[in-house]
Structure 1
Amino acid sequence: MIEYKSLNLEQNEAHLITLLSKNQEEEKNIPAEQNTSFSLALYDNGLYVGGITANKWMNATHISLLAINKSYRGKGYGSQLLKKAEAFAIESGSALITINTQDYQAKTFYEKYGYQVFGHLTDTPFSGTTKYYLVKRI
């Protein structure tokens, strides 16, 4: 009997990754590799002021989150964090890096560092804003 059940997110994702990895191997004859995560925090005298997280899988790294406390912006910390994530991507063998941002956030910042918009969605995650998807080949 088929039934739907709630399942812990971590457990469900592990099962889904197994299914998708098997499919990749069957369809493309390319074995899946483990996801490698990157996380770096920035502190000023013990005060958390920002950070960056990313995940590398196969030939791509995706920067999940990058944020700097407003009073620390414009001092190069975001640029330094981005460069450290890019170094992680290069060292781990990525061919490209992706990131997404909102129109009111850091689109021009990423473009300054060679990221190019490859897509966008209007009115998401709420009406009146646009989400941009960017990529940088490394």
Structure 2
Amino acid sequence: MVEFKQLALSENEAKLIELLSEHQLEEKQIPSESNSDFSLALYDDGHYLGGVTANKWMNITHISLLALVNSARGKGYGTQLLKKAEAFAAKKGAAIITIHTQDYQAKTFYEQFGYSVFGKLDDVPFEGTTKFYLMKKI
């Protein structure tokens, strides 16, 4: 009897990754590799100012989150966080880095460091804004 069941996210993701890895090996004869996570936080006198998180898998790194509190913006910290994520990607052997941002966030910031838009979604995640997907070859 076929049935649908709720399954803890971590358990379901592990099973899905296993299935996808098996399929990749069958179709492309390329074994999958484990994800490498990167997480770096910025503090000033014990106060959290922001940080960056990224995930590297195969030949691509995706910067998941990069943000700073308002008072830390414009001081070069964002640049430093981005460069540290890029260094992580390069050290782990990534060929491409991706990131997404909203039109009211940091699109021009990423573009000044060589990221280019490869896709966009209008009215996402809410009406009146655009989500941009950017990439950079390293």
| CA displacement at 1:105 relative to structure 2 | 0.2
| CA displacement at 1:79 relative to structure 2 | 0.2
Distance 1:70 1:60 in 2: 30
CA distances 1:86-120 after superposition (whole Å, capped 9, x unpaired): 00000000001000000000000000000000000
Partner of 2:44: 44
* TM-score normalised by structure 2 residue count: 0.99
Structure 2 unpaired stretches of 5+: none
Query: Aligned pair 1:61/2:67, yes or no?
Result: no
Identity of aligned residues (%): 70
Partner of 2:124: 124
Pairwise CA RMSD of aligned residues? 0.3
Distance 1:43 1:71 in 2: 12
Distance 2:72 2:89 in 1: 25
Distance 2:9 2:133 in 1: 25
Q: Segments of 4+ in structure 1 off by > 6 A? A: none
Query: Aligned pair 1:8/2:8, yes or no?
Result: yes
Distance 2:64 2:19 in 1: 23
Count of aligned pairs between the two proteins: 138
* TM-score normalised by structure 1 residue count: 0.99
